[in-house]
A and B are shown apart, each in its own frame.
Chain A
Amino acid sequence: MNWLLGLFEPGHALGLLALDPPGWGGPLLEGLLHTLEVAAGAYIVGTLLGVLGAFGKLYGGPLVKDIAAIYTTAVRAIPELIEILILYYLVPDMVNKVLLSLGRDRIDLPPMLVGTIVLGFVLGAYMTEVLRGAILAVPHGQIEAGRAYGMTPLQIAWRITLPQMLANALPGMANLWLNLTKDTALLAVIGFNELTETSLQAGGTTKAFMLFFTAAGVLYMLISVLSGRLFALAERRARRGQPSLRGGGV
């Protein structure tokens, strides 16, 4: 019983969470940094894929539409963990096959890079659906007006569709970001030392599993609360000049 109380004794817990080597605070924060880095990278990759997918689904030819539909359906129907594993083996394999056929040496891709690409690829499918819905919510007259001015499709996308859909897309994009920060934990399974994996290591070494998982949980909650605030601010900025959703003017 004493050892249990000892875990929650302030001095002991603080000692284990200390930033310097006997404590695990430093590695834990490093894990947090890795989590955030992978999440940010994957978010950029996923958003780019999502923009391509959404425009493909809405304005592409029949072939592009079908390929986008296969991409979003298949990716969303298979567990992320399994997609991550398949792609985790497949991506370096393919890169090395290409390199070998070019007569170069094999390279070891850093797990962080592979993790970023894989999570971004998965996120892209969800992002496609969010952005597609947001683009559909832009009044069609706006796009016709752009066309009437003789804008090219790219100009219409950049100047009219994207700025106006952003306000509609941001709530969905915020949800995806929150899901993504949690999905980075799946990379623990392939041994990438992000926050969850680091807290498991810390717990395994010190036997204070509860302490470290709670600490990691608090950090995840911090990410989700802070980024929720940021997205709310961004949405307010994206909505400036548009009528309030609640009806009356602000």
Chain B
Amino acid sequence: MKALVRSMMVPHRIVLLLIGVAIFGWAIYALDWSWLPEYIQNGLLLKGLWTTIYMLVISWAVGLFLAIWLGLAQAAGPWYLALPAKGFCSVIRGTPLLLQLWFFYYGLGSIFPHFPSIRESWAWEYLRQAWPYALFSLTLSFAGYEGEVMRGAFLGVPKGQLEAARAYGMPRFTILRRIWLPQAVRRVLPTMGGETVLQLKSTPLIATITVLDLYQASLQIRQDTYIIYEPLLLLAVIYLIVTGIIVALFHLVERQVPSKRS
């Protein structure tokens, strides 16, 4: 903290800081924030934030779980597993997320109703809403991107480690659980913070299929009040804060994991 304060005590930084404070003050006084208390009170913004966060957390966790298998299939699997995994990763990484999202929501979503058996089943309650499609395609997208990362991480673990484990007579699954996976995860940890921020930044796309996330909340405010910039600015600030929290969290986790360099 002291170092931070000292590094800010340079003339041009003080000027920049003052300009920043001035812009902030101007934004508070000159722009129209009269709508803000109402939308905090009726819970629209909070609800949006909650949707954004649970979409991020669930798609992150499930996507990472899938990515481990995708990476493993590509790094060590037989060709009939490696090839589909590689194809899946390239298609996910080669097409826009927006297109994938619309493919599932408009494409799949328009086919389901034609099957009476689906319409009568318990799943229909969920399949007629938008959020399952959003969660599904966000998860697949994260799995695709991370599958590629995990492939590199698995291949990057020194061969000697695996040979040593095999020499100890460990079964294959134990090798994966005790040796291979932990070391691969340690390898991806430094990039994981950045990847998670990228995933956070793709969540507003789900607003295009009517899911009420943070961005959709700001769109509704805009529709109600005809105010363009202020909701968007608030949105940018909230995303900045969430990004900061994610970066700090991963920094904390990274410090917990012992590594040779530190």
Which residues in A have some Cβ–Cβ distance to B below 8 Å?
Answer: 1, 3-4, 62-63, 66-67, 70, 74, 77-83, 85-86, 89-90, 178, 182-186, 188-189, 196, 199-200, 203-204, 207, 209-210, 213-214, 216-217, 220-221, 224-225
Indicate the member of B94, B114, B239 with the most A CB atoms within 10 Å. B94
Once the chains bind, are A79 and B200 in contact (CB under 8 Å)?
yes
Once the chains bind, are B98 and A185 in contact (CB under 8 Å)?
yes
* Residues B21-61 near A (CB distance < 8 A): none
Chain A nearest CB: distance from B207 CB in Å? Answer: 8
| In the complex, residue of chain B having the shortest beta-carbon distance to the beta carbon of A203 | B106
Total contacts A-B at CB 8 Å = 115
Indicate the member of B91, B93, B102, B111 with the most A CB atoms within 10 Å. B102
| In the complex, residue of chain A having the shortest beta-carbon distance to the beta carbon of B222 | A85
Once the chains bind, are B239 and A213 in contact (CB under 8 Å)?
no
Q: Interface size bucket, B side? A: 35 or more
Could you say which residues of chain B place their CB within 8 Å of the CB of A83?
236
Tell me which of B10, B98, B239 contacts A82 (CB under 8 A). Answer: B239
Bound: A244/B102 CA distance, A? 44
| In the complex, residue of chain B having the shortest beta-carbon distance to the beta carbon of A220 | B95
Chain A nearest CB: distance from B118 CB in Å? Answer: 13
Could you say which residues of chain A place their CB within 8 Å of the CB of B90?
221
Tell me which of A90, A184, A209 contacts B107 (CB under 8 A). Answer: A209
Which residues in B have some Cβ–Cβ distance to A below 8 Å?
Answer: 10, 12-13, 16, 90-91, 93-100, 102-103, 106-108, 110-111, 114, 197, 200-205, 208, 215, 228-229, 232-233, 235-236, 239-240, 243-244
Once the chains bind, are A1 and B114 in contact (CB under 8 Å)?
yes
Once the chains bind, are A4 and B201 in contact (CB under 8 Å)?
no
**Do A62 and B10 form a contact, CB below 8 Å, given A86-B233, A207-B110?**
yes
Could you say which residues of chain B place their CB within 8 Å of the CB of A70?
16
Once the chains bind, are B111 and A4 in contact (CB under 8 Å)?
yes
Could you say which residues of chain A place their CB within 8 Å of the CB of B108?
210
Once the chains bind, are B99 and A216 in contact (CB under 8 Å)?
yes
Could you say which residues of chain A place their CB within 8 Å of the CB of B240?
74, 77-78
Could you list 18 A-B pairs, sorted by A, with CB under 8 Å? A66-B12, A66-B13, A66-B16, A79-B203, A79-B215, A81-B205, A85-B232, A86-B229, A89-B229, A189-B98, A203-B102, A203-B106, A204-B106, A209-B107, A210-B108, A210-B111, A220-B96, A225-B94
